[in-house]
Chain A
Amino acid sequence: MDSCKDISPLVTRVADDEAAGAERGRVEGHVGECAACRVQLHAEREARQLLQDRSAALIGHAPLGLRSRCAATRTPAAQPVRRPLPLLSRAGWPMALAATLVLAVAGSAFYGLVVNPAKAVAAQLALDHLKCFTLFEEPAGLSPADVQAELKARHGIDIVLPAGQAAEGLTLVGGRRCLYLDGSVAHLLYRKGAVQVSLFVLPIGERLGQTGLDVLGHSAVAFTKGGRTWVALARVPHAEMETIAAIFGADNN
């Protein structure tokens, strides 16, 4: 009789009805004599059958809106990129941003539009702002020091978080690494009363190109400190956004 060790790899194939002939005969002969392998074959068949029976329910449906959000990721980066334009593939630009802008510029040539790179970046940030505030629960008692330490330890993003905003009514409610721009952007989430405010910190050397602009119903204000460009963004009038950005920039500008 085959040893259990020899038979073991074949048991799965028999449970899956993938084995035939001599292979199947070896397993059937063995399990007729070996209780342990008989139980193993029974267990594999039962588990497999159960999962197959319930596969439709287990798969279920993706949450509402996920499909459209996934579809949105195809523009404009969905088209195959043969060769980036040299001007926009310069070193230092994150790859995702470069691809986005390359295709946006290529598209603009076709449609006769002129792309605004600052607005393209701000639009990405606005989308991330919406996504993060929509998807994630807000923890209580989040410490700026913890967020700062984790950004550095986990993602290599070394920044000094603004301090003292609490006195101005701004509360830190979350910190994440932005999935866009190859994950090199820190995304800090604040609340000012009912207003959701995002503060993005771009990698060293990157600029937004404009100090203030409106995009997708949100106002964005960029400022520089610590050698980085910071972008404050919220769905508020631009004048109010300027005031909020001044709070962030006030402590060590």
Chain B
Amino acid sequence: MDSAAFEQDALALVDRLFAAALRLTRNEADAQDLVQDTYLRAFRSAGQFEAGTNLRGWMFTILHNTFLNQRRDRGRSPIDADSEAVEQAPDIRQEAGNPEELLLREAMDADLQAALDNLQPAYREAVWLRDVEQFTYDEIAGIVGVPIGTVMSRISRGRRLLYDDLVARSDAYAKRAGAGGDIRSRRV
């Protein structure tokens, strides 16, 4: 793969990498730093990437490792406390739909975001890579650097925690609305 094609393909992943970075850092400014550092490292290591192999998996692996390095080096330092105040909400695209659907989508997306953020980082990352990014178990094991059995147990546990959280939110929503409802009925 020539360098121009490599760069173009890598940069096409910026939305996905930023979304994953946001889930890892839960902070938009730190997520931007993480993505930029990921690209810096990726471009610096471009010669090590084998054309025809899984660029998306390669980039996510760099993202994961860069996040671990940054977290180890920076921690939740008061020095970086300025970045904590930055708003966390990503720029979510809104699809067309009637007002009720849009309202439900917004409510569900907010609940989903909150439920995802409530997960422990290892569960959140495994569920995100599997269900949002559609990576295989093997690919996730390679990205995260853990055995496939651990990946599967994290996915299983993470999904269950997510489901239970959403059910609790749905129950609270139903009580406020004075009507029954589960997470399926709210899916739009």
Contact = CB atoms under 8 A, between A and B. Distances in A.
Interface of A: 8-9, 11-13, 15-16, 18, 40, 43-44, 46-63, 66-67, 69-71, 73-74, 77-82, 96, 99, 135-139, 146-147, 150-151, 154-155, 173-177, 179, 183
- Range of interface residues on chain B? 35 or more
Given A57-B92, A59-B19, A80 B32 contact: no
Interface in B142-181: 149, 152-153, 155-156, 159-160, 162-164, 166
Interface of B: 3, 7, 11, 14-19, 28-29, 32-33, 35-37, 39-40, 43-44, 46-48, 73-75, 77-83, 85-86, 90-95, 105, 108-109, 112-113, 116, 127-128, 130-134, 137, 149, 152-153, 155-156, 159-160, 162-164, 166, 183-184, 187
A69 B36 contact: yes
A138 B109 contact: no
Nearest to B108: A54
**SS of B interface (majority):** helix
A58 B44 CA distance: 29
Given A47-B131, A58-B132, A154 B75 contact: yes
Contacts of A147: 78-79
B163 A60 contact: no
Secondary structure type dominating chain A contacts = helix
Contact of A70 (B35, B75, B94): B35
Contacts of B153: 9
Contacts, number: 192
Contact of A79 (B37, B46, B95, B156): B46
B156 A11 contact: yes
A52 B35 contact: no
A71 B7 CA distance: 8
